[in-house]
Homo-oligomer: A and B are copies of this chain.
Amino acid sequence: MNIAMIGGGSIGLLFGYYLSEVHNVNFYVRTHEQAEKIMNSGLFLQKGKKMEHIQAKANALPEWSGDEDLTIVAVKQYHLPEVVNLLKSNAPEYSGSFLFLQNGMGHLKWINQLKADNVYVGSVEHGAYRTDANIVRQTGLGRTKLALFKGSSLSAAMEMAKPLTQFPFSFEDDYYEMLLNKLVVNSVVNPLTAILRIPNGELLANPFYHSFMKDYFSEISACLDLKNKEKSFANVEEVCKKTAENRSSMLKDIEENRQTEIDAILGFVLEKAKENKKDAPLTAGFYQLIKGKEYKGGEE
């Protein structure tokens, strides 16, 4: 299968590496430097102390023209508007399928504009960290949930996923619920751990943080009008437990002076709060505090 991978960040490199083992993958990345590095030196995947290597093909982003059967978009949500414009302009009617791997749900309104055979969305539960332009470290093996967002068939997604026995995928019926579950986890865990500068497990281990997390979850679940609040909170706790030692992606972004995904995450919750006419003082507060940390560039 011919696959285009748009995005050379940690998730793009991780997926691209595994897919390259069984498919024909073309990377499309932001800078010429990164494309050249991938072309000349290939890709490296680090798992614990082991380093694996594979050859790969890479182009600059504007060269994408919809020639592949499947196009995976693995850029951050805040780069998506620009990428979607490029996709629309380079292939107004794409006779292939798209898969979008962004966090949050704010991106749905943009990808809804695309014309393609099928549009899939995914929820990624892997841990990965890019250590160089062509090196990705896998920090946790999870799985990727996929669902149909627009179109009629899961076949392209299945064709991509099936041969990848070491890199698990699962298929979900309801894309909205799938993304919502991830959004709730990200909304609670990411801002809290980033402001408090704690690994995820502290939210359970520290009784005061746990008590605050309950109040904060309760506000978020009201904003999003969650149907099964108990189950959803249990899921947040389960993720904290499974990833107890991890520092969340937002905490890492803050520590390393990068832009966070706060707009994709709490920005979406605040939009829903407005729609549903709910008060959201804690959510609005954490949104401001993370924006403040971004403004500061993480300095102390």
Contact = CB atoms under 8 A, between A and B. Distances in A.
B288 A212 contact: yes
Nearest to A214: B288
A215 B281 contact: yes
Nearest to A202: B296
B285 A215 contact: yes
Nearest to A199: B300
Contact of A288 (B195, B197, B209, B284): B209
Contacts of A284: 215
A48 interface: no
A167 interface: no
A68 interface: no
A54 interface: no
A292 B197 contact: no
A231 B206 CA distance: 38
Contacts of A295: 206-208
Contacts of A215: 281, 284-285, 288
A259 to B, nearest CB: 14
A281 B212 CA distance: 10
Given A197-B300, A207-B292, 6 more contacts: A208-B288, A208-B294, A208-B295, A212-B288, A215-B288, A282-B285
Q: Which 8 A-B pairs have the closest CB atoms?
A: A208-B292, A212-B288, A208-B291, A209-B292, A281-B281, A208-B288, A206-B292, A197-B300
